[in-house]
Amino acid sequence: MGVTWITYKTRSTQIADPPTTEQAIQIFEERVLGWQLYPARHMLVGDSSQGISGIPHSGFASLSVMLSYFEMIHEYKMGKRSDGKSKAFFKAGVHDVFPSIDPSNPGSALVLDQLYSHLRCGLYHSAAARRGVLISDDETYPLAYDFDHSTLHINPHMLVDILINHCKEYVAGLRVGGPDLGNFLNRSKLS
């Protein structure tokens, strides 16, 4: 039987059964960064240290990878799976990454609905964003909404770096025993 890689850097034989708290955090960090967010960034910009360019027109492909972050991070913050509550967990995860997008604000609620139904569901279920979503690396914000034209504007290049930083900050908080640690460990046991 071959080697079982449980992250992009770690083999199953290197982790205790069950994992220690630090190992659970390490597994999470290496999976989210190494299997999702770093590859999403590499699609967009490549790796200049290796002379590798980004993949042209990969904005939507990278977003397909990135969008899973929102629901997932809220699962870990809540300590449970989103079973049947994908939309609510997704929106709460967006709010966690972007606190200014407040679901109780009608304008923000519209943005969250379009982000979920037009972008996330469009990409996951139809292989394309639905009407009213534009992406560009020329945008000055990672997410913006044009209320005059009912259009969601996304800069995947900015968004991926924000998600990477959010993940690193979340992991740093876990490592110092922050308030999310208990729920994180509960959710880790469900994988």
pLDDT per residue as tens digits for the range 52-73 = 899 999 999 999 999 999 999 9
Query: Where in the chain are the domains?
Result: 19-77+86-188
Residue 3 pLDDT grade (very low, low, confident, very high; cuts 50, 70, 90):
confident
Q: Sign of dihedral through CA atoms 53, 59, 64, 66?
A: positive
pLDDT surpasses 80 at 32: yes
pTM (2 d.p.): 0.94
Encoded amino acid at 8, one letter: Y
Instruction: Indicate the DSSP class of residue 7.
Output: S
Over residues 117-134, the mean pLDDT reads 94
Residue 179 pLDDT grade (very low, low, confident, very high; cuts 50, 70, 90):
very high
C-alpha 72: how far from chain center: 7
| pLDDT for res 49 | 85
pLDDT surpasses 80 at 1: no
Residue 191 pLDDT grade (very low, low, confident, very high; cuts 50, 70, 90):
low
- % of the chain exceeding 90 in pLDDT: 85
Closest CA to 167 of 63, 76, 100: 76
| pLDDT for res 141 | 92
Token output for 166:
């959010």
| pLDDT for res 60 | 95
CB 72 within 8 A of CB 35: no
CB 37 within 8 A of CB 167: yes
Over residues 66-87, the mean pLDDT reads 97
Over residues 129-146, the mean pLDDT reads 91
